[in-house]
């Protein structure tokens, strides 16, 4: 099937949930993807911060194949080796003691929300069930995670959403302090807001949030679905800020493109889940966990996080230089290879112009260009994007 045929067929049979660019992608390698006509694109989207090791990574493909030839699935009625190994790796490399595996980010957040409620229920404080989340947050599209998402645009049309969520502005310690009372069980936030516009925490903010949680005996849930697995230049973003959460959720880059989510927690709260409290048929299934295990091993073996830190700094400096030159750029922000460029006008024409020149970039919140390339991106690839952006912004579109 040719490009136009595929697109018109898709428009007939696929749910109308996505606004897609007219691009049919067929294969990828490293930071490049090719469409059905054989055109190459350098990918600064990486499946939205998912394919951190690059596309079609051969070592991960091999791990998938090897496991697939042994065992696809047996259910969580039994133990399997890759699941135990992956959980052990995550526990060894984080604050956490236990891991619950899910299939997606939203499901990892669902598990976190259920866990904190269950903890206080079991403690005889069922009234302590509210969660404070942030304006402009993004936690997923299921009902509970939608209810935790502080963006009206995303919640629109689905009322009544789940009760028990309150919102405060990100980076506002006083507003958070004012909302905490004895009906609150947790504070839930992204250490750097991703979908909300690549917004970083102010100096000392996360420490203050941690302190407030400690003082009131409630849990800190960090959604590191986008920031985790090296994206910000540390394995987990919390490491930058001198704090640890009680619960953390992961997904996006954990499987480098295979569907997996994880909810990690300290023993004190994790043990509120008893056999039967929560479950997922496909959670932690052998093929997916074998793939993720290879992903984390590669992250370590190839020193990818240090590379991310260095190239992220380089990329950000280059974007700052563009800002000096082009008045339309309002702000450059972000950490590691989670970078945003806020414009004074809509970003969609720029995304299209870059596409025409062979680059995939992403625009969020209408005016913010988001750059989340594979963590293995090279300086040379960054230079080529910068030259493209320079030209596109020069012309105006």
Ligand X SMILES: *Cc1c(COP(=O)(O)O)cnc(C)c1O
Residues near ligand X (CB under 6 A) = 104-106, 109, 138-140, 190, 194-195, 223, 225-226, 251-252
For residue 315, indicate whether it is catalytic: no
Crossing angle of helices 379-395/304-325, nearest 10°?
A: 20
Q: Is 6 helix (H, G, I), strand (E, B) or coil?
A: helix
CA distance 255 to 153: 29
The catalytic residue among 219, 236, 252, 316 is: 252
Give me 325's structure tokens. 């030159």
Shortest Cβ 243–ligand X spacing (Å): 18
Say if strands 184-189 and 219-223 run parallel, antiparallel, or are unpaired.
Answer: parallel
Q: Are 116 and 278 in contact (CB under 8 A)?
A: no
Give me 8's structure tokens. 């018109």
Give me 264's structure tokens. 């990690």
The catalytic residue among 223, 236, 241, 359 is: 223
The catalytic residue among 138, 165, 170, 241 is: 138
For residue 223, indicate whether it is catalytic: yes
CA distance 31 to 373: 7
Cis omega before residue 118 (within 30°)?
no
How would DSSP label each residue in 45-88?
SHHHHT-TT-BT-HHHHHHHHHHHHH-S---TTS--HHHHHHHH
Q: Which residues contact 40 (CB under 8 A, 6 or more apart)?
A: 32, 33, 34, 358
CA distance 76 to 266: 21
CA distance 99 to 84: 10
Shortest Cβ 316–ligand X spacing (Å): 20
Q: Which residues contact 344 (CB under 8 A, 6 or more apart)?
A: 327, 328, 329, 330, 367
Shortest Cβ 225–ligand X spacing (Å): 4
Sheet containing strand 368-371, edge to edge, reads 329-335, 338-343, 368-371, 362-364
Q: Which is nearer to ligand X, 171 or 353 (CB)?
A: 171
297, burial (CB in 10 Å: exposed 0-12, middle 13-18, buried 19+): middle
CA distance 46 to 392: 21
Widest pairwise Cα distance in the chain: 64
Which residue, judged by CB position, is nearest to ligand X in the bound state?
Answer: 105
Q: Catalytic residue numbers? A: 138, 223, 252
């Amino acid at each position: 099937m040719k490009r136009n045929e595929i697109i018109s067929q898709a428009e007939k049979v696929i749910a109308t949930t996505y606004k897609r660019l007219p691009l049919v992608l067929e294969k990828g390698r490293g930071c490049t993807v090719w469409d059905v006509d054989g055109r190459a694109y350098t990918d600064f989207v990486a499946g939205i911060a998912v394919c951190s090791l690059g596309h079609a990574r051969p070592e991960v493909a091999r791990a998938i194949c090897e496991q697939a030839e042994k065992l696809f699935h047996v259910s969580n009625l039994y133990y399997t080796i890759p699941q135990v190994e992956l959980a052990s790796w995550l526990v060894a490399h984080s604050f956490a003691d236990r891991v619950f595996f899910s299939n997606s980010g939203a499901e990892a957040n669902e598990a976190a929300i259920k866990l904190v409620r269950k903890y206080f229920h079991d403690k005889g404080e069922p009234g302590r069930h509210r969660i404070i989340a942030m304006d402009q947050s993004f936690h997923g599209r299921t009902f509970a995670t939608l209810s935790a998402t502080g963006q009206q645009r995303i919640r629109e049309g689905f009322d009544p959403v789940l009760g028990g969520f309150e919102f405060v502005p990100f980076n506002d310690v006083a507003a958070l302090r004012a909302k905490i009372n004895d009906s609150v069980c947790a504070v839930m936030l992204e250490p750097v807001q991703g979908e909300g516009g690549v917004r970083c925490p102010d100096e000392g903010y996360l420490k203050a949030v941690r302190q407030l949680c400690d003082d009131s005996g409630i849990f800190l849930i960090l959604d590191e679905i986008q920031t985790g697995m090296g994206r910000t230049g540390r394995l987990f973003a919390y490491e930058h800020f001198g704090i640890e959460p009680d619960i953390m959720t992961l997904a996006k880059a954990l499987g480098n493109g295979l569907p997996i989510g994880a909810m990690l927690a300290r023993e004190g709260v994790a043990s509120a889940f008893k056999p039967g409290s929560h479950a997922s048929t496909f959670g932690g299934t052998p093929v997916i966990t074998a793939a993720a295990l290879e992903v984390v091993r590669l992250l370590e073996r190839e020193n990818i996080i240090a590379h991310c830190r260095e190239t992220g700094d380089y990329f950000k400096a280059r974007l700052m230089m563009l800002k000096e030159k082009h008045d339309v750029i309002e702000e450059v922000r972000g950490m590691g290879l989670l970078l945003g460029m806020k414009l004074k006008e809509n970003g969609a024409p720029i995304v299209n112009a870059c596409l025409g020149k062979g680059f995939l970039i992403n625009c969020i919140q209408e005016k913010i260009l988001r750059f989340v390339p594979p963590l293995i991106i090279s300086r040379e690839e960054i230079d080529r994007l910068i030259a493209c952006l320079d030209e596109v912004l020069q012309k105006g579109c």
